[in-house]
């Protein structure tokens, strides 16, 4: 006969019912004692008579719950994480298990499965890392329970990053009131580091612009600004760090080169659009963009690797078309529920020439302007224009790449001077096709392109760090 072991509550029921049956006890009293009805007492009496002690064992004992997952599923999850999704944080891993692998499990199940397998999330907190390492060392008998916290810290601190705590501030009220910007240099894809230029709205945590470039450059921030202007409009304020892209000051103004002067063009463009540009050297003052950079490094790197993206063109396409929309859908608040202070976006032509790089130059003895190691000559209505040597001018490289020049407050088209002629009048046949260049649109001269006004604004920006 099989030995039957009862748990405490089951044993209490058994003893009460046994007393009622063996000694003809009071059923009403037994019901009150067990907290059940007399009808249930009668059922228990029938069980006792038919099955004895075994009848009081719970029916689900030894049976797995209906929600219990197969052990092989845990093994699959561990294998996927170690091979395909290595170094992903658990939350991001859970999303892609459901999206790509058709495995729908809870976050707790993933956490317990991977933790038991000795795998800790790369986004785990300091306290969790410390406890995890402590338990691992205890298991390996490398430390004992009598060790003090100081000694344990001495063992594990080298694996943790120390961060200072700063008080949390209130977010702006309106959408577009403050836009934080920053660049993050990281090994995003391939084997070469690149820079992610990012802009996020403080009020709604919406990513309003993102772009990859090889370095933290004016070109990268211009692409971000272009996205903001075309998708949302003109914001009220930008909050950035003290990068030379936004703020540059030489001790000796006479030694400032034209290349370095270009670094203030972003602030100059902001002035033309009426955007307030504020810089800060305290990273905690723009903690939202700093935290977002960390989130992007934890998620975007893995997704780019998963999709086999190795070029900057593919990365920018995936970033703007796939990742940012999904990121905003998951993490950002619906900006339509907030009052917007974005102003109406300017026309495409205005944006094109506002996001321009302005560089002072002088005309040489050959009536040419040297720019980016190439020689250019000014044209008006497809006719070359000649000027005195050392005439000051302002080269304008528009956002779309068009090159113009202002001389004496008049705008001219710049055409590259080729080293050799494209067509020879002596040796090429008459049937040689000569493609006529399409006449470029030359916008009318306006104040942003007047060279004296431009130099005045540069001097003001260098000395006062002000673009208004």
The tens digit of pLDDT for each residue in 317-349 reads 999 999 999 999 999 999 999 999 999 988 888
State yes or no: pLDDT of 205 exceeds 80. yes
User: What is the band of 226 on the pLDDT scale with cuts at 50, 70, 90?
Assistant: very high
Averaged pLDDT, 63-70 = 62
Q: What per-residue confidence (pLDDT) applies to 381? A: 84
467 vs 280, more confident? 280
Question: How buried is 437 (Cβ within 10 angstroms: 0-12 exposed, 13-18 middle, 19+ buried)?
Answer: exposed
What is the distance of C-alpha 371 from the center of its chain?
35
Share of the chain above pLDDT 90, in %: 23
- Closest among 319, 285, 292 to 304, alpha carbons compared: 319
Q: What per-residue confidence (pLDDT) applies to 432? A: 56
> What digits encode the pLDDT tens for the residues 144-160?
555 566 665 655 555 44
How many CA atoms, within 13 angstroms, populate the side-chain half-sphere of residue 425? 0
Averaged pLDDT, 60-65 = 70
- Closest among 166, 155, 165, 93 to 129, alpha carbons compared: 155
Q: What per-residue confidence (pLDDT) applies to 259? A: 43
User: What is the band of 162 on the pLDDT scale with cuts at 50, 70, 90?
Assistant: very low
pTM exceeding the 0.75 threshold for the entire prediction: no
Averaged pLDDT, 276-293 = 85
Q: What per-residue confidence (pLDDT) applies to 251? A: 40
Averaged pLDDT, 116-124 = 79
CB atoms within 10 A of CB 460: 15
Q: How high is the mean pLDDT of the chain?
A: 80
Task: Tell me how long the chain is.
Answer: 468
State yes or no: pLDDT of 262 exceeds 50. no
Q: What per-residue confidence (pLDDT) applies to 440? A: 67
Q: Which two tokens stand for residue 324?
A: 């940012």
Expressed in percent and rounded to 5, the helix, strand and coil fractions of the chain are: 45, 15, 40
How many CA atoms, within 13 angstroms, populate the side-chain half-sphere of residue 276? 9
Measured distance CA(388)–CA(349) in Å, rounded: 31
Q: Which two tokens stand for residue 93?
A: 């891993």
Measured distance CA(228)–CA(220) in Å, rounded: 13
- Cα 339–181–458 angle (5° rounding)? 110
CB atoms within 10 A of CB 295: 14
State yes or no: pLDDT of 211 exceeds 90. yes
271 vs 426, more confident? 271
Looking at domain 179-349, its CATH architecture is 2-Layer Sandwich (3.30)
User: What is the band of 252 on the pLDDT scale with cuts at 50, 70, 90?
Assistant: very low
Q: What per-residue confidence (pLDDT) applies to 444? A: 65
State yes or no: pLDDT of 106 exceeds 60. yes
Measured distance CA(48)–CA(52) in Å, rounded: 4
Residues 6+ apart with CB under 8 A from 457: 268, 271, 467
Q: What per-residue confidence (pLDDT) applies to 197? A: 94
Averaged pLDDT, 187-191 = 89
Q: What per-residue confidence (pLDDT) applies to 465? A: 54
Q: What per-residue confidence (pLDDT) applies to 151? A: 60
Q: What per-residue confidence (pLDDT) applies to 113? A: 84
Measured distance CA(455)–CA(442) in Å, rounded: 22
Averaged pLDDT, 406-415 = 87
Q: What per-residue confidence (pLDDT) applies to 255? A: 47
How many CA atoms, within 13 angstroms, populate the side-chain half-sphere of residue 346? 18
For residues 385 and 378, the answer to whether their CB atoms sit within 8 Å is yes
- Which range among 13-27, 156-170, 365-379 shows the weakest confidence by mean pLDDT? 156-170
State yes or no: pLDDT of 446 exceeds 70. no
State yes or no: pLDDT of 17 exceeds 50. yes
Q: Which two tokens stand for residue 89?
A: 């944080």
Q: What per-residue confidence (pLDDT) applies to 343? A: 93
Among the residues of 233-286, which ranges form H helices?
258-261, 265-273
Q: What per-residue confidence (pLDDT) applies to 263? A: 42
Cα–Cα distance list, 331 to 95, 169, 326 (Å):
13, 19, 9
State yes or no: pLDDT of 250 exceeds 50. no
State yes or no: pLDDT of 6 exceeds 90. no
User: Alpha-carbon dihedral of residues 182, 188, 193, 195, nearest 10 degrees?
Assistant: -20
Supply φ then ψ for residue 247, to 5 degrees: -150, 120
Measured distance CA(181)–CA(10) in Å, rounded: 65
For residues 312 and 212, the answer to whether their CB atoms sit within 8 Å is yes
H or E element, residue 404: strand 403-407
For residues 273 and 313, the answer to whether their CB atoms sit within 8 Å is no
Measured distance CA(67)–CA(51) in Å, rounded: 30
H or E element, residue 44: helix 38-51
- Which range among 21-35, 100-114, 249-263, 289-303 shows the weakest confidence by mean pLDDT? 249-263
Averaged pLDDT, 306-315 = 92
Among the residues of 265-323, which ranges form H helices?
265-273, 287-306, 312-318
């Amino acid at each position: 006969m099989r030995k039957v072991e009862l748990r405490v509550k089951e044993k209490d029921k058994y003893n009460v019912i046994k007393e009622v049956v063996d000694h003809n006890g009071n059923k009403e009293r037994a019901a009150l004692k067990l907290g059940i009805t007399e009808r249930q007492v009668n059922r228990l009496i029938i069980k006792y008579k038919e099955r004895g002690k075994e009848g009081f064992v719970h029916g689900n004992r030894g049976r797995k719950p209906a929600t219990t997952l197969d052990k092989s599923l845990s093994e699959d999850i561990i294998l996927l994480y170690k091979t395909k999704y290595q170094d992903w944080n658990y939350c991001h891993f859970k999303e892609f298990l459901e999206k790509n692998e058709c495995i729908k499990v809870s976050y707790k199940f993933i956490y317990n499965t991977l933790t038991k397998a000795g795998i800790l999330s790369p986004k785990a907190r300091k306290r969790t890392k410390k406890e995890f390492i402590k338990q691992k060392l205890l298991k390996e008998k490398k430390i004992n329970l009598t060790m003090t916290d100081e000694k344990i810290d001495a063992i594990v601190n080298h694996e943790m990053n120390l961060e200072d705590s700063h008080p949390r501030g209130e977010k702006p009220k309106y959408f577009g009131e403050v836009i934080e910007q920053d660049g993050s240099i990281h090994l995003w894809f391939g084997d070469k580091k690149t820079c992610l230029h990012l802009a996020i709205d403080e009020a709604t945590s919406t990513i309003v612009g993102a772009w990859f470039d090889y370095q933290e450059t004016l070109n990268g921030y211009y692409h971000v600004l272009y996205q903001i202007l075309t998708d949302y409009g003109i914001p009220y304020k930008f909050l950035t760090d003290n990068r030379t892209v936004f703020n540059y000051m030489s001790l000796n103004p006479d030694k400032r080169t034209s290349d370095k002067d270009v670094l203030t063009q972003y602030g100059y463009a902001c002035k033309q659009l009426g955007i307030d540009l504020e810089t800060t050297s305290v990273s905690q003052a723009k903690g939202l963009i700093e935290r977002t950079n960390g989130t992007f490094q934890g998620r975007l790197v893995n997704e780019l690797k998963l999709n086999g993206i190795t070029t900057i063109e593919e990365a920018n396409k995936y970033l703007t078309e796939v990742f940012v929309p999904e990121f905003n859908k998951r993490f950002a608040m619906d900006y339509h529920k907030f009052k917007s202070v974005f102003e109406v976006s300017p026309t495409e032509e205005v944006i094109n020439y506002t996001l321009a790089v302005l560089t002072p130059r002088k005309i040489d003895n050959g009536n040419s302007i040297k720019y980016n190691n190439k020689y250019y000559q000014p044209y008006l209505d497809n006719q070359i224009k000649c000027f005195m040597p050392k005439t000051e001018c302002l080269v304008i490289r528009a956002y779309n790449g068009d090159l113009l020049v202002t001389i004496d407050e008049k705008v001219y088209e710049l055409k590259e001077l080729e080293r050799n002629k494209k067509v020879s009048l002596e040796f090429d046949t008459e049937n040689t096709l000569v493609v006529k260049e399409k006449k470029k649109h030359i916008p009318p001269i306006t104040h942003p392109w007047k060279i004296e006004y431009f130099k005045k604004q540069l001097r003001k920006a260098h000395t006062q760090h002000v673009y208004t």
